[in-house]
């Protein structure tokens, strides 16, 4: 007699199914955990990369010898579309405020910040003795006759150059982009010397500092972002050595192209001016008042030569620019990367006219 075969228990089948489900649930749990760990790692890497980009923010499309650049926050309110500005305006402003802001004639500015390794590489000049060209450039019709005023050997205006290697493309071989316009000798210090001579001819004693700040930064192991820290040291030293200094001008040039930095006045091309006031300190109103006075007179005597006054707080850059050291302290942008010596000279003479009037006669005379 055959033994009885016991029927397969339904309970055993259910137990096996439960075990399979439990195993699948455990595997799914581990898969979810691994996915979230991976997501967390990716997010942290993305945040780290973004922080690095905020510090350096390289600009594409540069010259071969200027491969990596940082770009400062741009202020562009002159009617040229700026998606970031328009986006912020649409979020933070009421309709009335939007209309007011869109109607305002705000100046535009564009400034590149190159890496130190690129700044220390000089391109070839189109003229070997470019400094002599700057030094010998004259505009006889604009130079006044012997001034009736004199500071009698006292220097009362101090000119310096935080971004001293900012240069001009017409004098650099094989450079045609703004991010390539830098040079150790053919740069803004030559414009500062022109302005110093123009003021001296008007009887205003002027000291021009031509420190190669880029070289000094390199020697100290600092990067380009420390430029204002170093130029601040220069200003403090100058003030300590000469108590007569009253006006402090930090000269720069813009990175915008020629159509934004040039104006024709009486048939002659001039490099346009822009005044920058840092609002990141308590006494900025005094600097702003000084800028407004100079801008207003320039606008009367040389229409559209000045693009206006750009106010920048700490969220838009340095925000102070050493202007907390003196109420008569400004950044003055003279021209841009495409301007020529002749255009710069005409503007320098115009600026010297107004600055000398301000020094000799003050606000009361300028308002007439």
Q: How many whole angstroms separate alpha carbon 144 and alpha carbon 154? A: 20
Express as a percent the part of the chain with pLDDT over 70.
71
pLDDT in tens, 233-272: 999 999 999 999 999 999 999 999 999 999 999 999 999 9
* pLDDT value, residue 17: 61
Q: How much is the mean pLDDT over the chain?
A: 79
pLDDT of residue 20: 67
User: CA-CA distance, 291 to 297, in Å (whole number)?
Assistant: 10
Q: How far apart are CA 22 and CA 38, in angstroms?
A: 24
- Per mean pLDDT, which range of 5-14, 190-199, 221-230, 296-305 is the poorest? 5-14
Task: Show me where the domains of the chain are located.
Answer: 75-103, 125-366
Give the Cα separation of 100 and 88 in Å (integer): 15
- Report the 10 Å Cβ neighbour count for 302: 21
- pLDDT tens string 263-319: 999 999 999 999 999 999 999 999 999 999 999 999 999 999 999 999 999 888 889
Separation between Cα atoms, residue 7 and residue 60, nearest integer Å = 77
**Percent over 90 (pLDDT), the chain:** 51
Identify the DSSP state of 115.
-
Task: Give me the pLDDT at residue 92, please.
Answer: 43
Q: For residue 318, what are its two tokens?
A: 């340095």
Per the DSSP assignment, residues forming a β-bridge with 109 are 75
Name the burial class of residue 245, with classes exposed (0-12), middle (13-18) and buried (19+) by CB atoms within 10 angstroms of its CB.
buried
**Counting beta carbons within 10 angstroms of the beta carbon of residue 172, is it exposed (0 to 12), middle (13 to 18) or buried (19 or more)?**
buried
Q: In which residue are the tokens 């923010």 written?
A: 57
Residue 349 binned pLDDT confidence (cut-offs 50, 70, 90):
very high
The correct CATH number of 125-366 out of 3.10.350, 3.30.460, 3.40.630, 3.30.1300 is: 3.40.630
**C-alpha 247, offset from chain centre:** 21
Mean pLDDT of 171-197: 91
């Amino acid at each position: 007699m055959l033994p009885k075969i016991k029927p397969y228990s339904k309970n055993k089948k259910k137990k096996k199914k439960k075990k399979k489900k439990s195993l699948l649930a455990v595997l799914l749990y581990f898969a979810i955990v691994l996915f979230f760990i991976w997501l967390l790692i990716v997010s942290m890497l993305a945040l780290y990369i973004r922080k690095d980009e905020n510090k350096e923010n390289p600009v594409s499309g540069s010259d071969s010898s200027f491969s990596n650049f940082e770009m400062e926050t741009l202020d562009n309110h002159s009617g040229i579309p700026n998606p970031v500005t328009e986006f912020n305006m649409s979020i933070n402003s009421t309709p009335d405020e939007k209309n007011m802001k869109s109607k305002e004639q705000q100046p535009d500015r564009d400034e590149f910040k190159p890496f130190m390794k690129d700044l220390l590489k000089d391109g070839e000049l189109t003229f070997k003795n470019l400094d002599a060209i700057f030094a010998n450039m004259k505009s006889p019709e604009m130079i006044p006759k012997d001034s009736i005023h004199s500071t009698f050997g006292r220097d009362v205006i101090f000119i310096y150059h935080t971004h001293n290697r900012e240069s001009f493309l017409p004098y650099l071989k094989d450079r045609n982009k703004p991010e390539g316009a830098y040079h150790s000798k053919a740069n803004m210090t030559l414009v500062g010397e022109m302005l110093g001579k123009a003021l001296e001819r008007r009887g205003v004693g002027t000291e021009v500092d031509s420190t190669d700040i880029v070289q000094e930064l390199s020697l100290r192991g600092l990067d380009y972002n420390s430029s204002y820290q170093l130029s601040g040291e220069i200003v403090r030293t100058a003030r300590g050595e000469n108590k007569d200094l009253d006006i402090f001008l930090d000269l720069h040039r813009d990175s915008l192209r020629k159509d934004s930095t040039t104006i024709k006045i009486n048939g002659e091309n001039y490099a346009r001016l822009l005044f920058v006031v840092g609002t990141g300190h308590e006494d900025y109103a005094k600097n702003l008042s000084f800028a407004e006075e100079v801008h207003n007179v320039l606008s009367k005597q040389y229409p559209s030569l000045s693009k206006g006054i750009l106010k920048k707080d700490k969220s838009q850059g340095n925000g102070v620019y050493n202007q907390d050291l003196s109420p008569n302290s400004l950044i003055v942008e003279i021209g841009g990367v495409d301007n020529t010596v002749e255009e710069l000279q005409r503007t320098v003479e115009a600026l010297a006219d107004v600055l000398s009037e301000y020094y000799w006669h003050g606000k009361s005379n300028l308002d007439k």
